[in-house]
Amino acid sequence: MNNQLNQKPQQLRLNKFLAERLGVSRREADELILAGKVSVNGNKAELGGKIDKNDKVCYNNKVVPFQAHFLYLALNKPVGYVCSRRAQGEAKTIYELLPKKYHHLKSVGRLDKDSSGLILLTNDGDFAFKMTHPKFRKNKVYEVELDQPLEPLHQQMISDYGVEIGDGASQFKIIKITSAGDGAGGTPTARSRQASTVGETATAGPAEKYIVILSEGRNRQIRRTFAALGYEVTKLHRTQFGKYELGDLQSGKYVIIEP
């Protein structure tokens, strides 16, 4: 019993603690520490430091609670909005779609202004890390429209070998679908499309619409990949991120989700 009473509280690396509480990456947490914005028990924090539940951690002179309440949202981002806290020109930010009480949440990855679909937001930095770091390989599913039909050879190049886009080869799976039945009444779900055989070609109608399944997350990767082969992406809509699916969530709306 005495040994149990004398045990020290479990320690946690400071950058991991800050990442989880502030919704930033561990690298960003280290940058906050280096910038002198973090203190522990009134003293300037140091890189590599550890804390326990008895320590008082402050960021910008505000106490960071040791126990945190994490939130997770799924948002259907419309075209024309940016995934940042500041507006870019005339483009609005996704935070204008959310109540003020959720403005502290950070987007998990991004979609560019001209893209739409599923965005996750959270204040749980560890969750964000596991959803976005390449080693965890979370599949993301997109509905893509091109300005012209994709040549079968180009589809095979992307799916089987990858296409050089300046920061390495880009490779992802492509499922060809058709315009038929894709009117205002809605499109087939990502789940049903994934059940199709990758590379299957429909026999009716122009094949200008595709499903892309991607496990990476480089900046504008899908657009740059098709552009490298002479195509322009005219629509990019994300329907799935890891285990999370957009489902019937309406454009501009959000729901609370479980991690």
Task: List, for residues 36-88, the tens digit of each pLDDT value.
Answer: 999 999 999 999 999 998 999 999 999 998 887 889 999 999 999 999 888 77
In order of their start, the domains of the chain are: 2-63 (3.10.290.10), 72-132+249-256 (3.30.70.580), 139-241 (3.30.2350.10)
On the question of pLDDT at 186 being above 80, the answer is no
For the stretch 145-183, pLDDT in tens is: 999 999 999 999 999 999 999 999 999 999 988 654 444
What number is the average pLDDT over the span 118-147? Answer: 92
| Euclidean distance between CA atoms 4 and 37, whole angstroms | 35
Q: How far is the C-alpha of 102 from the C-alpha of 121, rounded, in Å?
A: 9
Q: Whole-angstrom distance between the N-terminal and C-terminal Cα of the chain? A: 37
Residues recognised as catalytic: 112
Q: What is the tens place of the pLDDT at every residue in 191-205?
A: 333 333 333 433 334
Task: Provide the token pair at 77.
Answer: 């981002």
Q: Taking the CA atoms of 123, 124, 127 and 128 in sequence, report the sign of the dihedral they define.
A: positive
